A and B are shown apart, each in its own frame.
Chain A
């Protein structure tokens, strides 16, 4: 068996706002009719959570479910469970038109934590990251610098961010640079 490692194998930065490679995470792309009862029950069986509303993320005992687009969800589960859960979903949906793919190894996931985490992202994402506009439960696909990314808050001053693994190292460097001590505008 090969020994799977995440893009930076758990590396982290040492500034006040800390950037960490979150390690391996199971990620499953699920496309289909999000209003379908069968899809709802398949997701609920897989992660123990309801389907999130538009641009939201929900969490269940086995993982998270993020709203990616009107016909796409992202399931966040334990890395070593991803293949089994993908198969379980495909089986539950049977002949219903859908696509479930384990994309875990195509992605990188980072944690941004510390007071000012919002400002690190606000430096690169063209969206409103003030506490009134973005909070826990929100999920946003956008760009960070020039890279496609998506992020959400896990708790106050803590974000998780996903991007393609192929640009993971650049993303880590970008975030680490944006989080340098003394470089935050302290606007929020």
Chain B
């Protein structure tokens, strides 16, 4: 069970109040790109064992989307942050790096 803090309404709530939205920070490949790039955009996911960035929606609360960084192996939540960004905040990346020195970093 995950406990996430919604950065939009400030609530710290358990998983069942939220809806998962899959991997975060995807680059969209649409019309005009080649088939392989489009297929990868649609189907290829990192699915790491360890640090992962995801989209979540506070479905039963304020209804807003946000981002979360967590570990897929331990379920440790490193932090949540605004949906209005295409990269995780630097402080958060630094915090994760301090906790997981072996992590290759956000790419």
A residues engaging B (CB < 8 A)?
Answer: 54-55, 68-70, 126-127, 140-143, 148
Prevailing SS type, chain A contact patch: strand
Contacts A55-B9, A68-B62 known; list 15 others, CB within 8 Å: A54-B10, A55-B11, A69-B8, A69-B62, A70-B8, A126-B16, A126-B17, A127-B13, A141-B60, A142-B60, A143-B16, A143-B17, A143-B60, A148-B59, A148-B60
- Point out the residues of chain A lying under 8 angstroms from B11, CB to CB: 55, 140
A2 to B14, CA, bound (A): 43
Contact B62 A142 (CB under 8 A): no
Interface: B20 (CB within 8 A)? no
Interface of B: prevailing SS: loop
Number of A-B contacts defined by CB within 8 Å: 35
Q: What's the nearest-Cβ distance from chain A to residue B81, in Å?
A: 15
Contact status B62-A141, CB under 8 Å? yes
When C-beta atoms are compared, the residue in chain A nearest to B11 turns out to be A55
Question: Can you list 21 A-B contacts (CB < 8 A)?
Answer: A54-B9, A54-B10, A55-B9, A55-B11, A69-B9, A69-B63, A69-B64, A70-B8, A70-B62, A126-B13, A126-B14, A126-B17, A127-B13, A140-B11, A141-B61, A141-B62, A141-B63, A142-B61, A143-B17, A143-B60, A148-B60
Report the separation of the CA atoms of residues A148 and B19 in the bound assembly, to the nearest whole angstrom: 13
Chain A neighbourhood of B59, CB < 8 A: 148
Chain B residues with Cβ under 8 A from A70's Cβ?
8-9, 62, 64
Q: CA–CA, A140 to B64, complex, Å?
A: 15
> How long is the Cα–Cα vector from A143 to B15 in the complex, in angstroms?
12
- How far apart are the CA atoms of A63 and B30 in the complex, in Å? 49
Chain B contacts of A127 at CB under 8 A?
A: 13
Interchain CA distance A108-B84 in the complex, whole Å: 34
Closest A residue by C-beta to B15? A126
Asked whether, in the complex, the Cβ of B9 is within 8 Å of the Cβ of A142, the reply is no
Residues B13 and A142 in contact, CB atoms below 8 Å apart: yes
A142 lies within 8 A of B17 (CB): yes
Chain A CB within 10 A, most for which of B13, B16, B60: B60
Chain A residue with Cβ nearest B63: A69
Report how far A141 CA is from B16 CA in the complex, Å: 13
Interface residues of B in 58-83 (CB under 8 A from A): 59-64
A157 to chain B, nearest CB (A): 24
How far, in Å, is B101 (CB) from chain A's closest CB?
A: 35
Q: Taking CB as reference atom, which chain B residue is nearest A143?
A: B60
- Complex CA distance for A142 and B58, rounded to whole angstroms: 9
Give Cα A126–Cα B16 distance, bound, in whole angstroms. 8
